[in-house]
Structure 1
Amino acid sequence: MSSDAPRFYNDSKAIYLLPADSEEGRRLNAQYLAIQHSVGGKVVFPPVPLADGDAVLDCATGTGAWTLDLAVLIPPTVSIASVDVSPHLFPKVPPPNVKFEQHSVLSLPAEWSGRFTLVHQSLLAFALRTEEWQKDLQELYRVTKPGGWVQLCEVSWPDMVPNDELPFSRYLRGIHYKLAEMRGLDVYCGRNLEQRTKDAGFQNVEATMSRIPMGKQAGDGPQNSTYSGFSYFTGAMREHALAHGLTPSPEVYDAATAGLLEEWNSTPNTHISFFWVWGQRPL
């Protein structure tokens, strides 16, 4: 059941479609668990042995879920800087070798040039305009240590199943695409990520795609991303759709989301896809 209670947004004038409140924190953590399950729990993809004195950067850290996972896998003498444009979801008590800071990925500190052995960034499809991706990748290249690695993860909306072949999926995806067009977002950013990484100057670029199951047929457990996917349609997207007149009424929209859930529950292989890309800055 959708709620009309207002959500907290870090900046109501920003292009970012998603809120920055505790409810969004729960959604992000559930989504992270589902994504990690889809890749067998793999936290780091590139061949980068992190050793004493190395530094890691986690961009768009959100709740810090990836940072906290990595922190238990590396020596405590490896430092992690975790940044986000919004500080509202940062963990209250981070590990001693982790520092959470408020920064935009488009303007990281000048003194960070060439500092990080590993740079991680995920899920900015709802945050960066199409023309900002080049600047983003340039910033990540700048702060990566020569010989160091960047690791990226982004959603691929066009590869979602069901796609446009079912009526409620088609209707709600159409609203999402309209919102993306209004905000200047790139719904194909997952597919475009590999080429953008190469264009930024990274070498040894590799990519893989994982599929996150949704609906009843995905079964119970962290692998099922129904909650994290569906709550976007019933939460943030609902607010934006009503605010911009992209649906006739709350009743019409809520009926569509109920129909969407039924489509997910009855369609084999219902999933949403994510692309992982990693590359190395030349020595």
Structure 2
Amino acid sequence: MGNNNSTFKRKNKKIVLDKNETMDLEVGKDLKYYLPNNYEDIDRIHMFHFFQRYIYQGNFSSPIEERLMQEKCKVLDIGCGPGTWLLDLANKYEKSLFHGLDNNSIFPNEIKPSNLNFMKADMFDGLPFPDNEFDFVHQGTMAFIIKADQWTFIISEMIRVTKPGGFVEIHEPYCISKGFGPILNKINEAHISSCLQRGVDMKLLPNLDKIIKSNPNTPITYKDEKFYILGPNGGKIGMVNQDIFIGFHDNDVAMENLSPVLGISKEEYKIMMTKDLIEELKYTSPEYSLIRFWAKKIN
């Protein structure tokens, strides 16, 4: 896995969830990324993909698998990042064709399955595909980027390029704010506030089905939600997610954005994330969820 501007070295991590289940994580080294620009963000994206797959016991909720296995199904992933979701599917469903789109070319351009292609493009300019092109259009973990007034356009574009009888699916993590301790609650509120300053409203996520339903081509929308506990009281899967959560917040970009909102110094923020929060999570059971919305296009 690599691209013209960087190298990629494979390193395997195996996380044991229980005596019968493991998560095999194939993570990248030396890949350039944006915001911030280091390989650790790629690692987190890879890890979060396998975390989500384990929670759901699958990569999607739409009833598309039979078509993926038997036909030359065309699949599009919007905001594909390094292409982890697509690489996983393209290797499994060799008879189908997969396409990834992102405005940052951190996806592999050379070492990839022959049934997988990537394109650099900005989804906010509209999807560069004709109407009714894909059997399955997927988008995952873009809630931190899409502004409140952009969701309707993005979803309408996803539906536009989906064939009648095909499926659209959106997959996002959501913070329930149940069982939070005071430190995690402060971090969460600061994150919501920071997002709002950019026009991103995280509280819209549980209601994305209303936007999908509002399109006459997708009047029936399904919601598939899974819950889990962050931290040691959530078992081994909770500890995996704790590592992802701490990594997401313990970097220079998060520190620059959140420490002023919290009204603390960068040094205090570092201690809060790497010591105080970890200690708090030993005694609390904060609940989070993953939500998948999917719908079949009728016209």
TM-score, length-normalised on structure 2? 0.80
CA deviation string 1:175-228 (max 9, x = no partner): 212211111101123202211211233133111111244312334469721111
In 1, Cα distance between the equivalents of 2:185 and 2:128?
44
1:267 aligns with 2:284: yes
> Aligned match of 1:151 in 169, 173, 190?
169
Q: More helix per residue: 1 or 2?
A: 2
> Aligned match of 2:204 in 173, 184, 189?
189
> Aligned match of 1:124 in 125, 142, 154?
142
- What amino acid maps onto 1:125 in structure 2? A
User: Which residue of structure 1 aligns with residue 80 of structure 2?
Assistant: 61
1:247 aligns with 2:263: yes
Shift of 1:89: 4.3
SS in 2 for 1:131: helix
- What amino acid maps onto 1:195 in structure 2? K
SS in 2 for 1:225: helix
SS in 2 for 1:69: helix
Superposition pairs of residues 42-81 of structure 1, within 5 angstroms? 42-48=58-64, 49-50=67-68, 51-76=70-95, 78-81=96-99
User: Which residue of structure 1 aligns with residue 112 of structure 2?
Assistant: 94
- The 3 A distance-change label for structure 1 pair 259 and 89 is farther
SS in 2 for 1:172: helix
1:26 aligns with 2:73: no
RMSD: 2.3
Larger mean CA deviation between 255-264 and 147-156 belongs to: 255-264
Shift of 1:110: 4.2
Shift of 1:20: 5.4
8 Å Cα contact 1:150/1:279 also seen in 2: yes
In 2, Cα distance between the equivalents of 1:107 and 1:255?
41
8 Å Cα contact 1:56/1:79 also seen in 2: yes
- Identical-pair percentage: 23
Q: Where does the alignment leave 5 or more consecutive residues of structure 2 unmatched?
A: 1-31
In 1, Cα distance between the equivalents of 2:165 and 2:38?
37
SS in 2 for 1:188: helix
SS in 1 for 2:123: coil
8 Å Cα contact 2:62/2:167 also seen in 1: yes
SS in 2 for 1:56: strand
SS in 1 for 2:174: strand
1:206 aligns with 2:225: no
8 Å Cα contact 2:178/2:287 also seen in 1: yes
CA deviation string 1:54-93 (max 9, x = no partner): 21101111121111121133233x2111111211244651
8 Å Cα contact 1:214/1:271 also seen in 2: yes
Shift of 1:279: 0.2
SS in 2 for 1:239: helix
User: Which residue of structure 2 aligns with residue 15 of structure 1?
Assistant: none
In 2, Cα distance between the equivalents of 1:210 and 1:170?
21
In 2, Cα distance between the equivalents of 1:70 and 1:34?
15
Superposition pairs of residues 231-242 of structure 1, within 5 angstroms? 231-235=247-251, 236-242=253-259
In 1, Cα distance between the equivalents of 2:126 and 2:239?
34
How many residue pairs were aligned?
A: 262
User: Once superposed, which parts of structure 1, at least 4 consecutive aligned residues long, lie more than 6 Å away?
Assistant: none
8 Å Cα contact 1:35/1:223 also seen in 2: no
In 2, Cα distance between the equivalents of 1:127 and 1:180?
9
In 1, Cα distance between the equivalents of 2:83 and 2:33?
18
CA deviation string 1:101-123 (max 9, x = no partner): 11222234444321000011001
SS in 2 for 1:266: coil
Q: Which has the higher contact order (CA 8 A, sep 6+)?
A: 1
In 1, Cα distance between the equivalents of 2:37 and 2:59?
24
User: Which residue of structure 2 aligns with residue 229 of structure 1?
Assistant: 245
8 Å Cα contact 1:218/1:224 also seen in 2: no
Shift of 1:26: 0.3
8 Å Cα contact 2:232/2:239 also seen in 1: no
Larger mean CA deviation between 196-205 and 113-122 belongs to: 196-205
